Amino acid sequence: MPVPRAAERAAALRAQLDDANYRYHVLDDPQISDAEYDALLRELIDLETADPALRTPDSPTMRVGAAPTGAFAPYPHVKPMLSLGNAFDGDELRAFDERVRKLSGRTDVAYTCELKIDGLAISLRYDGAAFTGGGTRGDGSAGEDVTENLRTIRSIPLRLRGAGVRHIDVRGEVYFRRSDFDALNARREAAGLPLFANPRNTAAGALRQLDARMTAERRLSFFAYAVGEVDADAFPTTQFELLAFLREQGFVTNPHVARAATIDDVIAYVERWSVERDTLDYEIDGVVVKVDELALQEQLGSAGKDPRWAIAYKFRAREATTRLLQIGINVGRTGTLNPFAVLEPVQIGGVTVKLASLHNEDDIRRKDIREGDVVLVRRAGDVIPEVVGPVLSERRGDLPVFALPTHCPVCGSDVDHPEGEAMARCTNATCPAQRRERVRHFCSRGAMDIEGVGDVLAFALVDHGLVDDVSDLYHLDAAKLLTLPRMGEKTVASVLANIETSKTRGLARLLFGLGIRMVGSQNAAILAGDYGSIDALAAATVEDLIRSDGIGEQIAASVALFFQQPPNRAVVERLRAAGVDLTAPKRERAPVGPLAGKSLVLTGTLPSLTREEATALIVEAGGKVTSAVSKKTSYVVAGDEAGTKLTKAQELGVAILDEGGLRSLLAAGAAESSV
């Protein structure tokens, strides 16, 4: 028999803790601190530990999580949990509205609009006022019993607050707050554990933990939005009031609900949230639209599986899960082994994604990505596909940990992977893959800009033995080119003409095109400007080279090494013999113009200028175009569909221009200089 005094105290503590929880989660108006809450909880745990008879199923102490159970029992839904039909644009919403009005015979139907939380649908059962169990959606008629795990979620009340309810099934969404998810990942990173890919899958995994203590640590949240079977004295008549009723009972409902008098209001709501979705602390994947009147819902009923009184508007997906079929390896022009993902094709944001970069071996290991995994794929900056990570809950059996090959997949040479470096390299400079890539790079737009020689022709030239190194491009003739597949007289003539034109591109582009390690377009321009000719540069020592701005020991050593190697010297001589311009104008005096000394960053698409044209105008005005935004950036020129650079500029307080702003800046200087 429990000691009466202790029983009283336990009951008081329970009431106090429930109340604190309700104030914190539902009212968002905490009256006691987290520390005080913890102290009360501690006291209750101690009482219950001393006398287990004091323990009740709805005690807040149950939230810390019970010990592991074997497996999940089935959880039948007396009233099935519905799935909703989808709409992807305004027209489909209008069609839905028309059907509703036609079937109901009404001229006007009001709707409630609710954010569609990207989490897991669950059902909670209350008998009397006490929480007695809950389960996942499953196939709609039965899911899994995850009662112990649900108990750990603070925003799920363990007792109803209102009177008059004898039984109720409450439906809603379990989800992960972004802030809680980020905090969890930060802790995992500190502990050296692989990071979770996204909040939704992590929430799913947490809810299916066999050990509820693990679930408790994850800090899941819950929004209630519907009711299944119910037996109560009084019940609301609209969806909007139903949400208020759920709040009165102690549930958290999403604050961004709206009542829409017409379908136009619904569409306005959808458009607003498709833009503002990123401002929320949780992820949403659409909007749920329901006929507001519950009686009308009943009347409309369902067609097959889907109710006729509700529809889910889905935002365009930004990420998706798919199977990682294989990890392939590309060999880059510098010999780097670049792993890439071969994916089961999947639609993301309107395009089919089949491939994605995987960066390097360490990255794959850190994310614990394995061949055969189901992976989460996202389009970084809404463009370039990226594998975020594996969905661990989908992993079946033992998949092998990824390891880079020790020999080049193309030529079989040894692979060099220096300690502490991210990239592994094929050690064979004459590796066919490297040769192909070097020729392609030489002909590319930023380098010698040889029109007509893209990936396909560059590879064909190397593969057919017409070109071994870049100097061979200038010793081609029509007869040789005609031996290649898909090359006719006309194409050959144009390619030869374009190769001829490229001879005058100048030293900066040539140096970049040669593909010297650590010499990209910028360093190439600096060296060309400082030395004026390839002979002067080839004669420079490391000590000479490091005097150039931005050139340190490593880059200097790389340049010097390049010109020491006989094959490279031979390439230079053959280029000279062909009449390729190996000189550059020596660096002109300090830049002048309205943008002298300014550095600008371009992002997005400008209305009437290409990126190249804008860059040329800025350079002409004495300015510099760089790729990343920092405190030193003078202006960010933002066009349509600007990406993360615009956000960064706002964060750092860097001035932002549109195309007009850029033009007036250029014009201002032109006016001055003409005076």
Partner DNA sequence: CCGCCTCGAGTTCT
Partner DNA sequence: CTCGAGGCGG
For DNA, the binding residues (CB under 7 A) are 330, 332-334, 336, 338, 340, 351-357, 359-360, 362-363, 380-381, 383-386, 420-423, 437, 441, 515, 517-524, 546, 549-556, 599, 603, 626-628, 630-633, 643-645
Q: How far is the CB of 89 from DNA (least distance, A)?
A: 20
Rounded CA-CA distance 230/216 in Å is 29
| Rounded Cα gap, residues 391 and 122, in angstroms | 20
In the complex, minimum distance from the CB of residue 669 to DNA, in angstroms, rounded to a whole number: 21
Shorter beta-carbon distance to DNA: residue 132 or 522: 522
318, two tokens: 């930004």
Minimal distance in Å, beta carbon 187 to DNA?
19
Nearer to DNA, 276 or 455 (CB): 455
Q: How far apart are CA 205 and CA 394, in angstroms?
A: 9
Q: Is 490 labeled as catalytic in the residue annotation?
A: no
Minimal distance, residue 174 CB to DNA, in Å: 29
312 Cβ partners below 8 Å, 6+ apart?
A: 84, 85, 86, 87, 116, 286, 287, 288, 289
Q: Are 350 and 316 in contact (CB under 8 A)?
A: yes
Say which of 116, 290, 367, 624 is annotated catalytic. 116
- 79 vs 598 by CB, closer to DNA: 598
Q: How far is the CB of 508 from DNA (least distance, A)?
A: 11
Q: Which is nearer to DNA, 154 or 367 (CB)?
A: 367
- For 168, 230, 241, the CA distances from 233, given in Å and listed in that order, are 11, 10, 15
Strands (E), 381-440: 384-390, 415-416, 425-426
For residues 169 and 115, give the distance between their C-alpha atoms in angstroms, rounded to a whole number.
21
In a 3-state reduction of DSSP, which class is residue 429? Answer: coil
CB 47 within 8 A of CB 17: no
Measured CA to CA, the distance from residue 546 to residue 155 in angstroms comes to: 62
Fill in the amino acid letter for 11: A
Rounded to a whole number of angstroms, the minimum distance from the CB of residue 557 to DNA is 8
CA distance 589 to 593: 12
- Residue 350 or 566: the one with the smaller Cβ distance to DNA is 350
Task: Report in angstroms how near the CB of residue 21 gets to DNA at its nearest.
Answer: 38
Please enumerate in sequence order all residues whose Cβ is within 8 A of that of 659, keeping only pairs 6 or more positions apart, or say none.
Answer: 606, 607, 608, 609, 614, 637, 639
Distance CA 464, CA 427 (A): 23
Whether 232 contacts 168, CB under 8 Å:
yes
Place of tokens 């939380």: 117
Q: How far is the CB of 558 from DNA (least distance, A)?
A: 8
Nearer to DNA among residue 423 and residue 460 (C-beta): 423
CB 167 within 8 A of CB 229: yes
d(CA 162, CA 329): 62
Instruction: Give the phi and the psi of residue 440 in degrees, each rounded to 5.
Output: -60, -45
Catalytic residue ranges: 116
